[in-house]
Amino acid sequence: MQEITGGVAAPIGFTAAGIHCGVKNKNPEKKDVALIYSEVPCAAAAVYTKNRVKAAPIWVTMENLSDGKAQAVICNSGNANACAPGGTENAKTMCKAAARTLNIPESDVVVASTGVIGQPLNIGVIEAGIPALVSALSKDGSDAAARAIMTTDLMKKEIAVRFNLDGKTVTMGGIAKGSGMIHPNMGTMLCFITTDAAVEPVYLRKLLLAAAERTFNRVSVDGDTSTNDMCAVLTNGLAGNTVIAAEGKDSEAFLDALVHVCRYLARCMAEDGEGATHLVTAKVGGASDNETAAALSMAVVSSSLVKAAMFGADANWGRVLCAMGYSGADFRPEATDVYFRSKSGEILVCSAGTGISFDEAEAKRILSEKEIIIDIRLSEGGGTGEAWGCDLTYDYVRINGDYRT
Amino acid sequence: MQEITGGVAAPIGFTAAGIHCGVKNKNPEKKDVALIYSEVPCAAAAVYTKNRVKAAPIWVTMENLSDGKAQAVICNSGNANACAPGGTENAKTMCKAAARTLNIPESDVVVASTGVIGQPLNIGVIEAGIPALVSALSKDGSDAAARAIMTTDLMKKEIAVRFNLDGKTVTMGGIAKGSGMIHPNMGTMLCFITTDAAVEPVYLRKLLLAAAERTFNRVSVDGDTSTNDMCAVLTNGLAGNTVIAAEGKDSEAFLDALVHVCRYLARCMAEDGEGATHLVTAKVGGASDNETAAALSMAVVSSSLVKAAMFGADANWGRVLCAMGYSGADFRPEATDVYFRSKSGEILVCSAGTGISFDEAEAKRILSEKEIIIDIRLSEGGGTGEAWGCDLTYDYVRINGDYRT
Q: Where in chain A are all domains bearing CATH 3.60.70.12?
A: 2-271
Contact: A117, B333; criterion CB under 8 Å: no
- Measure the CA–CA gap between A72 and A232, rounded to whole angstroms: 11
B331 close contact with A: CB closer than 8 A: yes
Query: What single DSSP character describes residue B85?
Result: T
- Measure the CA–CA gap between A2 and A195, rounded to whole angstroms: 14
Whether the pLDDT of residue B223 is over 60: the answer is: no
B318 close contact with A: CB closer than 8 A: yes
B90 is in an annotated binding site: no
Between A and B, how many residue pairs show a Cβ–Cβ distance under 8 A? 222
A85 close contact with B: CB closer than 8 A: yes
Q: List chain B residues with CB under 8 Å of A362.
A: none
Contact: B321, A397; criterion CB under 8 Å: no
Whether the pLDDT of residue B279 is over 70: the answer is: yes
Task: Answer for the pair A228, A112: CB distance below 8 angstroms, yes or no.
Answer: yes
Averaged pLDDT, B84-100: 96
- Nearest-CA residue of chain B relative to A299? B224
Whether the pLDDT of residue B185 is over 50: the answer is: no
Whether the pLDDT of residue A304 is over 90: the answer is: no
Task: Give which of A308, A318, A328 is closest to B188, Cα–Cα.
Answer: A318
% of chain A residues with pLDDT over 90: 74
Contact: B355, A309; criterion CB under 8 Å: no
Query: What local confidence, expressed as pLDDT, does residue A221 receive?
Result: 62
Give the HSE-up count for residue B218: Cα atoms under 13 Å, Cβ half-sphere.
33
- Measure the CA–CA gap between A91 and A111, rounded to whole angstroms: 7
CATH number of the structural domain B2-271: 3.60.70.12
B151 is in an annotated binding site: yes
A254 close contact with B: CB closer than 8 A: no
Least Cα separation, residue A395 to chain B (angstroms): 8
Query: What local confidence, expressed as pLDDT, does residue A184 receive?
Result: 42
A350 close contact with B: CB closer than 8 A: yes
Contact: B354, A83; criterion CB under 8 Å: yes
Query: What local confidence, expressed as pLDDT, does residue B224 receive?
Result: 59
A319 close contact with B: CB closer than 8 A: yes
- Which residue would you say has higher pLDDT here, B292 or A217? B292
Averaged pLDDT, B31-46: 97
Averaged pLDDT, B227-238: 93
The whole-chain average pLDDT of chain A stands at 92
Contact: B52, A401; criterion CB under 8 Å: no
Catalytic position from the list B61, B114, B152, B188? B188
Query: What local confidence, expressed as pLDDT, does residue A128 receive?
Result: 97
Task: Answer for the pair B193, B16: CB distance below 8 angstroms, yes or no.
Answer: no
Whether the pLDDT of residue A202 is over 70: the answer is: yes
Query: What local confidence, expressed as pLDDT, does residue A185 receive?
Result: 41
Contact: B319, A354; criterion CB under 8 Å: no
Least Cα separation, residue B171 to chain A (angstroms): 35
For B131, the enclosing helix (H) or strand (E) is helix B123-135
Read off the pLDDT of residues B133-147 as tens digits, 9 standing for 90 and up. Answer: 999 999 999 999 999
| Top-level class of domain B279-401 | alpha beta
B403 confidence band (pLDDT: 50, 70, 90): low
Q: Active site includes B93?
A: no
Mutate to test the interface with B, among A217, A224, A296 (most CBs of B within 10 A): A224
Contact: A322, B226; criterion CB under 8 Å: yes
A323 close contact with B: CB closer than 8 A: yes
Read off the pLDDT of residues A18-68 as tens digits, 9 standing for 90 and up. Answer: 999 999 877 888 999 999 999 999 999 999 988 888 899 999 999 999 999
Whether the pLDDT of residue A399 is over 80: the answer is: no
- Which residue would you say has higher pLDDT here, A319 or A259? A259
Predicted complex ipTM exceeds 0.90: no
- Measure the CA–CA gap between A90 and A76, rounded to whole angstroms: 12
- Measure the CA–CA gap between A31 and A36, rounded to whole angstroms: 14
Whether the pLDDT of residue A238 is over 80: the answer is: yes
Q: Find the Cα–Cα–Cα–Cα dihedral B369, B277, B188, A311, rounded to 10°.
A: 140
B131 close contact with A: CB closer than 8 A: no
Query: What local confidence, expressed as pLDDT, does residue B188 receive?
Result: 65
Among B53, B224, B304, whose Cβ lies nearest the Cβ of A305? B224
Q: List chain A residues with CB under 8 Å of B183.
A: 326
- Measure the CA–CA gap between A53 and A227, rounded to whole angstroms: 6
Whether the pLDDT of residue A233 is over 60: the answer is: yes
Chain A residues 171-230 with CB within 8 Å of chain B: 180-181, 183, 185, 222-227
B48 close contact with A: CB closer than 8 A: no
* Strands in A29-152 per DSSP E: 33-48, 69-79, 109-116
Range with lowest mean pLDDT among A223-237, A284-298, B28-42, B218-232: B218-232
Among A50, A304, A350, whose Cβ lies nearest the Cβ of B223? A304
Q: List chain A residues with CB under 8 Å of B308.
A: 396-397, 399-401, 403
Least Cα separation, residue A332 to chain B (angstroms): 9
